[in-house]
Structure 1
Amino acid sequence: MMNEKPYSTRRKTFDVRVVIRGAGDLATAIGHRLHKAGITVIHTETAAPTTVRRLVSFSSAIQHGMFTVEGVTAKLCPMTVEDVEAALDDGLVPVVIDPTLAILAIWPADVVIDATIAKKAPTVDLMSYAPMVVALGPCFVVGKHCHAAIETCRGHDLGRVYTTHGEEALENTHTPGDLGGESHRRVIRAPCIGLITPLVSIGSTVRTGDALVRVADVEVRAPMGGLVRGMVSEGMVCSRVGFKLGDLDPRGLSMGGEEKRKLCTHISDKARNIAGAALECVVTYMTTG
């Protein structure tokens, strides 16, 4: 007889605990996949996340208290064992404000996944954080910074798990992935520093030249037409030129309403691929120790 309780809200099935550093779209895809697989998982984040794809990111729980992505709900929790465990018992994914992973001192993890996509070598000894440390993207060397690294660059090796000593993901190409034939133009970046004021909402369709966001007193206009797939939160302060403000998807111009909505509210193909790789790493730890 089938269990009447949906598997996506079970407390846990396996005796393994995972802490994910970050709660942006890629990190959320991982947390979502592990949670639905019955693995106990929590996320840590900064107090002011710079997330662009906010509608598919558990980091939005920091602003809203709770946030749901594809049927899985994250909850902002104080950094106490009692609050974290209470959220887990309710079938939720806890998110704590803790960029330095201090939570590990009171809630030790079997696996730590660094999903911040820092694109630079860590300055701390990540491998001391847990028996299994997994890192996403370039600059993490297996055996030096982590026990396993996951490829995040689009292409044939996307989602590949590196486990051999000395291996690492491909170097940062500084080229955004191609969507609908567009790469650099689809990513909206800050021309100056200052207060950020979005002028369009995620899910809006814009034309070339439309005003998208204001940084200080400078309006940033769309270099191309497309669907606004992501945009940073209002009230953030941009501290550097080139800061990522938003994301346009040209594919949205030729799609109907439901398809366009999914581009904004559903986990991407890239993120699902990476989430599967992370699940592989956790299962490998569970079966081999």
Structure 2
Amino acid sequence: MILMKGAGDLATGVANRLKKCGFDIVMTEISKPTTVRRTVAFSQAVYDKEVEVEGIKGILASKKEDINKIISDGNIAIIVDEEAKIADEIKPDIIIDAIIAKKNLGTHIDDAPIVIALGPGFTAGVDCDCVIETKRGHYLGKTIYSGSAIPNTGVPGNVGGFTKERIIRATHDGKILPVSKIGDYVKKGDIVAYVNETPIFAQLDGIVRGMLQKDVSVFKGMKSGDIDPRCEKDHCFTISDKARSIGGGVLEAILYLRNNLD
């Protein structure tokens, strides 16, 4: 049994790989997820009750009995549980912190027999048994059993020659009204969304790969979507290369730790 904290697109890529390898998985989420790549995120089950990503279903649960039924039917269970208190009931063998908050929000190395964390904010051997590198580049997906991941730079990874221009950010505090849908092609300067009545403009030509849904509350500067300059529409509806690489690192860590932890 694996308990994953977080069910965003990177967590979903990890969960999809682990499920296909035979693991039972429960994922926790906040009550109003803000995943921009929601077409490939099990967090969307919080809104839609059930989602499917590359042949794997994530179904919303409300209690332990629901979780047991969902898992026995061969699916992944999603539960709204910001503090992951369900761990006390299901007693998972493995906990994976996949919130990608760039800091530790409450994960401890003794929370389960195996504890794995994704990205910066954790120290292997202190907060968890293994940290997985999440920064794009040469070390993406690396398993770290002593030390930490590369610190957060605040600059998005380079995709198609672009970094910060890819990100659609809220211009004000308020509620978002998307103009462009995930999968739409846009040009630099196009209006892709509004916050209240203030427009957000595309900063490059590309395809909208992520976008918050209508009426989600945002704050100024908050990531609210992204544009992919590679313009491959299929990428909007499939797990990313980054998520697959991280998933491979998590799988390696599980198998290694099973054999090497005292």
TM-score, length basis structure 2? 0.96
Pairing 1:18–2:26 present:
no
By how many angstroms is 1:125 displaced? Answer: 4.9
Does the 8 A contact of 1:79 with 1:97 survive in 2?
no
- Bigger radius of gyration, 1 or 2? 1
Q: Secondary structure at the match of 2:67?
A: helix
Question: Which residue among 116, 131, 144 is the counterpart of 1:134?
Answer: 116
By how many angstroms is 1:218 displaced? Answer: 0.8
Does the 8 A contact of 1:231 with 1:246 survive in 2?
yes
Q: Secondary structure at the match of 2:109?
A: helix
The unaligned stretches of length 5 or more in structure 1 are: 1-16, 253-259
Q: How many residue pairs align between the two structures?
A: 261
Q: Secondary structure at the match of 1:138?
A: coil
Q: Secondary structure at the match of 1:127?
A: coil
* Residue in structure 2 matched with residue 144 of structure 1 by the alignment: 126
2: CA distance, partners of 1:125 / 1:227? 36
Q: Secondary structure at the match of 1:143?
A: coil
Q: Secondary structure at the match of 2:44?
A: helix
Does the 8 A contact of 1:196 with 1:216 survive in 2?
yes
% identical equivalent positions: 39
* Residue in structure 1 matched with residue 244 of structure 2 by the alignment: 272
AA aligned to 1:263 is H
AA aligned to 2:132 is I
Q: Secondary structure at the match of 2:254?
A: helix
Does the 8 A contact of 1:31 with 1:42 survive in 2?
no
**Deviation digits for residues 248-269 of structure 1, max 9, x if unmatched?**
01110xxxxxxx3321011111
By how many angstroms is 1:148 displaced? Answer: 0.6
Aligned-residue RMSD, C-alpha? 1.1
Runs ≥4 residues deviating over 6 A: none
Pairing 1:251–2:233 present:
no
2: CA distance, partners of 1:53 / 1:118? 16
By how many angstroms is 1:60 displaced? Answer: 1.0
The unaligned stretches of length 5 or more in structure 2 are: none
Question: Which residue among 57, 80, 85 is the counterpart of 1:73?
Answer: 57
AA aligned to 2:226 is D
Q: Secondary structure at the match of 1:149?
A: strand
* Residue in structure 2 matched with residue 181 of structure 1 by the alignment: 161
**Deviation digits for residues 20-66 of structure 1, max 9, x if unmatched?**
10001110011101100001111110110010101111111111111
* Residue in structure 2 matched with residue 5 of structure 1 by the alignment: none
* Residue in structure 1 matched with residue 234 of structure 2 by the alignment: 262
Pairing 1:190–2:152 present:
no
Pairing 1:223–2:203 present:
yes
By how many angstroms is 1:214 displaced? Answer: 0.8
1: CA distance, partners of 2:107 / 2:178? 38
Does the 8 A contact of 2:7 with 2:42 survive in 1?
yes
* Residue in structure 1 matched with residue 87 of structure 2 by the alignment: 104
